[in-house]
Amino acid sequence: MWGKRADVIVRTEAPFNAEPPPTLLAANEITPVEAFYARNHGLFPDIAPGQWRLDVGGLVDTPMTLTLDRLTTGFDHHTVVATLACAGNRRAELLRARPIPGKDPWEHGAISTAAWCGVRLADVLDAAGVYRRDGLHVEFLAPDIAAEARPAQAYGSSIPLEKAMSHEVLLAWQMNGQPLPRAHGGPVRAVVPGYIGARSVKWITAVTVRDHPSHNYFQEVDYRILPPDADPDTAAVGDGIPLSRLPLNCDILAPTGGDRIGAGEVVLRGWAMAGDGQGIGRVDVSIDGGHTWRQAQLHTARSKWAWSLWSLSVDVVPGPLSITARAWDDTGMTQPESPASLWNPRGYGNNAYSRVDVRVM
Amino acid sequence: MWGKRADVIVRTEAPFNAEPPPTLLAANEITPVEAFYARNHGLFPDIAPGQWRLDVGGLVDTPMTLTLDRLTTGFDHHTVVATLACAGNRRAELLRARPIPGKDPWEHGAISTAAWCGVRLADVLDAAGVYRRDGLHVEFLAPDIAAEARPAQAYGSSIPLEKAMSHEVLLAWQMNGQPLPRAHGGPVRAVVPGYIGARSVKWITAVTVRDHPSHNYFQEVDYRILPPDADPDTAAVGDGIPLSRLPLNCDILAPTGGDRIGAGEVVLRGWAMAGDGQGIGRVDVSIDGGHTWRQAQLHTARSKWAWSLWSLSVDVVPGPLSITARAWDDTGMTQPESPASLWNPRGYGNNAYSRVDVRVM
pLDDT digits (tens, 9 = 90+) for A115-157: 999 999 999 999 999 999 999 999 999 999 999 999 999 999 9
CA nearest neighbour of A228 among B274, B284, B324, B273: B284
Residues A79 and A207 in one domain: yes
Q: Which helix (H) or strand (E) holds B161?
A: helix B161-164
Residues B51 and B128 in one domain: yes
Is the CB of B332 less than 8 angstroms away from the CB of A295?
no
Closest chain A residue to B281, measured at CA: A241
Kindly tell me if the per-residue pLDDT of A286 is higher than 90.
yes
Residues whose CB falls within 8 Å of the CB of residue A66, separated by 6 or more in sequence, listed in order: A53, A54, A56, A74, A124
Query: B233-268 pLDDT, tens per residue?
Result: 998 898 999 999 999 999 999 999 888 999 999 999
Closest chain A residue to B274, measured at CA: A333
Whether A230 maps to a domain, the answer reads: yes
Q: Whole-angstrom Cα distance, residue B62 to residue B55?
A: 11
Whether B3 maps to a domain, the answer reads: no
CATH number at A292 reads 2.60.40.650
Residues A36 and A182 in one domain: yes
Is the CB of B328 less than 8 angstroms away from the CB of A241?
yes
State which residues form the domain around B236.
9-242
Residues B42 and B27 in one domain: yes
Residues A50 and A181 in one domain: yes
Query: B78-118 pLDDT, tens per residue?
Result: 999 999 999 999 999 999 999 999 999 999 999 999 999 99
The predicted pLDDT at position B6 comes to 62
Give the closest-approach CA distance of A226 to chain B in angstroms: 9
Is the CB of A225 less than 8 angstroms away from the CB of B281?
yes
Is the CB of A224 less than 8 angstroms away from the CB of B332?
yes
Residue B300, number of CB atoms within 10 A of its CB: 8
DSSP symbol at B152: -
Whether B221 maps to a domain, the answer reads: yes
**pLDDT level of residue A1 (50, 70, 90 thresholds):** very low
Chain A residues whose CB is inside 8 A of the B355 CB are none
Residues B223 and B295 in one domain: no
Whether A125 maps to a domain, the answer reads: yes
CATH number at A181 reads 3.90.420.10
Select from B229, B331, B351, B354 the residue whose CB has the most chain A CBs within 10 Å, as the one to mutate to test that interface. Answer: B331
For chain B, what is the mean pLDDT?
96
Helices (H), A112-263: 121-127, 161-164, 217-220
Closest chain A residue to B224, measured at CA: A332
Closest chain A residue to B334, measured at CA: A336
Domain boundary residue among B242, B273, B308?
B242
Quick one: B262 exposed, middle or buried, by C-beta within 10 A (0-12, 13-18, 19+)?
Answer: exposed
Residues B160 and B192 in one domain: yes
Give the closest-approach CA distance of B191 to chain A in angstroms: 18
Whether A270 maps to a domain, the answer reads: yes
Kindly tell me if the per-residue pLDDT of B3 is higher than 50.
no
Domain boundary residue among B179, B207, B242?
B242
Query: A223-234 pLDDT, tens per residue?
Result: 999 999 999 999
**pLDDT level of residue A5 (50, 70, 90 thresholds):** low
Cα torsion angle, B26, B28, B32, B38, sign: positive
Quick one: B30 exposed, middle or buried, by C-beta within 10 A (0-12, 13-18, 19+)?
Answer: middle
DSSP secondary structure string for all residues of A251-286: EEEES-TT-EE-SEEEEEEEEEE-GGGPPEEEEEEE
Is the CB of A228 less than 8 angstroms away from the CB of B338?
no
Q: Whole-angstrom Cα distance, residue A57 to residue A65?
A: 9
Give the closest-approach CA distance of A122 to chain B in angstroms: 21
Residues whose CB falls within 8 Å of the CB of residue B143, separated by 6 or more in sequence, listed in order: B45, B47, B154, B203, B205
Kindly tell me if the per-residue pLDDT of A96 is higher than 90.
yes
Query: B348-358 pLDDT, tens per residue?
Result: 999 999 999 99
Give the closest-approach CA distance of B245 to chain A in angstroms: 6
Is the CB of A336 less than 8 angstroms away from the CB of B336?
yes
Calculate mean pLDDT across residues B302-306: 97
Whether B4 maps to a domain, the answer reads: no
What's at B59, amino acid-wise? L
Select from A86, A341, A351, A354 the residue whose CB has the most chain B CBs within 10 Å, as the one to mutate to test that interface. Answer: A341
Is the CB of A333 less than 8 angstroms away from the CB of B351?
yes
Whether B1 maps to a domain, the answer reads: no
Closest chain A residue to B342, measured at CA: A334
φ and ψ of A151, to 5 deg: -70, 165
Is the CB of A334 less than 8 angstroms away from the CB of B342?
yes
Share of chain A above pLDDT 70, in %: 98
The predicted pLDDT at position B258 comes to 86
Residues B57 and B198 in one domain: yes
Closest chain B residue to A351, measured at CA: B333
Give the closest-approach CA distance of B330 to chain A in angstroms: 6
Residue A54, number of CB atoms within 10 A of its CB: 19
- CB-based contact B273:B263 (threshold 8 Å): no
Residues A197 and A309 in one domain: no
Whether B286 maps to a domain, the answer reads: yes
Calculate mean pLDDT across residues A331-356: 97
Peptide bond into B187 cis (omega under 30): yes
ipTM rounded to 2 decimals: 0.94
CA angle B47/B52/B56 to nearest 5° reads 135
Domain boundary residue among B215, B242, B269?
B242
Kindly tell me if the per-residue pLDDT of A276 is higher than 80.
no
Q: Whole-angstrom Cα distance, residue A196 to residue B331?
A: 10
The predicted pLDDT at position B189 comes to 98
**pLDDT level of residue A277 (50, 70, 90 thresholds):** confident
As for how many domains chain A has, the answer is 2
Q: Is B224 on the interface with A (CB under 8 A)?
A: yes
Chain B residues whose CB is inside 8 A of the A290 CB are 341
Dihedral, B59, B64, B68, B74 alpha carbons, nearest 10: -90
φ and ψ of A285, to 5 deg: -130, 135
Kindly tell me if the per-residue pLDDT of A2 is higher than 50.
no
Residues B53 and B101 in one domain: yes
Q: Whole-angstrom Cα distance, residue B69 to residue B140?
A: 20
Residues B149 and B277 in one domain: no
Chain B residues whose CB is inside 8 A of the A98 CB are none
Quick one: B220 exposed, middle or buried, by C-beta within 10 A (0-12, 13-18, 19+)?
Answer: buried
Residues A100 and A39 in one domain: yes
Q: Is A248 on the interface with B (CB under 8 A)?
A: yes
